[in-house]
Amino acid sequence: MKKNNVKAWLYLLPAIAFLGIFMVYPLIDVVIYSLEEGYNSASQSFFGVGLYNFSYVLHDPYFLQALKNTLILVVITVPVSTGLALLISLGLNSIKPLKNLYQTVYFLPYVTNTLAVGLVFMILFKKTAYSEGLVNLLINFFGGKSVDFIDGPYSAKMLVMCLYTVWIVMPFKILILTGSLASVNQDYYNAAKIDGTSRWRTFWRITLPMISPMLFYLIITGFIGAFKAYSDAVALFGTDLNASGMNTIVGYVYDMLYGNSGGYPSYASAAALLLFAIVFTITCINLRTRKRFQF
């Protein structure tokens, strides 16, 4: 028995070593960094230990802007993308001809590069010296005034950012939801049909509860994904996100490490831990609500 134990640990060693070096150690390091005040990466020295880094980050207007942007992004894109994905999956599930074609089309954004998609959005929305951008042309056509979506007002920029995020996260959700819709046993629908259940009621009382585990999975991963948004903002607004006021929390962390104002691993660590705290809290709330819907 004891010998077996040694063997078991031996077998686990590669995984443990890998996880330890590349996950556990860095995580602990992040916590240590966040507590070291006035850390200087060049001389590897610091003044003292305390919560100053957190206080600094929480009072930094750039961080607050990033936090606000991220929260807006989360609150808008998660429900909208999940809802739209559900509608599209329901549609996909109820058509027969060309179903596979549509499924492929809807899945395409998933395999497309974020930056390439960003470029397409630029062409759609950006106003340049040569062109107004496709969307502005449309707005003009309907008698509206041009809006600068990329360098203009905050709400316009936020709108583009949300549209972009929704567009990019939807394919995966559609894929998962069409799968889970198709896996609902047809007998439930037949039973509902025999009992004369209206379509609306069938959806609310049967379909939705049946796919709710998958829906919760998508909402939780959606929240986490949206909180970690960064590359999308870069794709649309360039690398100087603070200047355009479109930074995200992860963007702030990156800037603190490597950006123009870089070289502050302590602030970056503190911001990262704050993000972790937020995501952790929301995931816990999500899991708790999920339990009530489980059967």
Partner 1 sequence: MKIVLEHLTKRYPNRNRKIKTEVIAASDLNLEIPDGQLIGLLGPSGCGKSTTLNLISGLEPPTEGKLYFGDRDVTDLPPEKRGVGLVFQNYALYPHLTALQNIMFPLQNLKGENRPSKKEMEERAVEAAKLVQIDHLLERRPKEMSGGQQQRVAIARALVKRPGVLLLDEPLSNLDARLRLQTREEIRRIQRETGITTVFVTHDQEEAMSISDSIVVMKDGEIHQIGKPQEVYDEPVNLFVAKFLGTPPINVFHGKVQSETLYIGKENVLSVPGAPDGAVSVGIRPEGFIPDADGAFCCGLDRVEIMGRDTSVVFNHPELEGEQGRAIASAEASASLAGESVRFTLKPSKTYIFNADGARIRFGK
List interacting residues with partner 1 (CB under 8 A): 185, 187-188, 190-191, 193-198, 201, 205-206, 209-210, 212, 293, 295
Judged by beta carbon, residue 113 or residue 190, the one nearer partner 1 is: 190
Is the separation of the CB atoms in 236 and 160 below 8 Å? Answer: yes
Residue 19: CB atoms within 10 Å: 12
Is the separation of the CB atoms in 141 and 209 below 8 Å? Answer: no
Q: For the CB of residue 201, give the shortest distance to partner 1 in the complex, in Å.
A: 7
Judged by beta carbon, residue 159 or residue 192, the one nearer partner 1 is: 192
| Three-class SS state of 49 | strand
The residues pairing with 49 across neighbouring beta strands, listed in sequence order, are 36
Q: For the CB of residue 196, give the shortest distance to partner 1 in the complex, in Å.
A: 3
Of 160, 210, 217, 220, the C-alpha closest to 189 is 210
Judged by beta carbon, residue 6 or residue 194, the one nearer partner 1 is: 194
Q: For the CB of residue 96, give the shortest distance to partner 1 in the complex, in Å.
A: 14
Backbone angles phi, psi at 49, to 5 degrees: -115, 135
Judged by beta carbon, residue 102 or residue 188, the one nearer partner 1 is: 188
Judged by beta carbon, residue 7 or residue 193, the one nearer partner 1 is: 193
Q: For the CB of residue 97, give the shortest distance to partner 1 in the complex, in Å.
A: 14
Judged by beta carbon, residue 41 or residue 289, the one nearer partner 1 is: 289
Q: Which residue has the tokens 């707005």?
A: 139
Q: For the CB of residue 184, give the shortest distance to partner 1 in the complex, in Å.
A: 11
Is the separation of the CB atoms in 273 and 295 below 8 Å? Answer: no
DSSP 37: E
Q: 265-293 vs 52-59: helix axis angle to the nearest 10?
A: 80
Of 259, 234, 257, the C-alpha closest to 247 is 234
Q: For the CB of residue 102, give the shortest distance to partner 1 in the complex, in Å.
A: 22
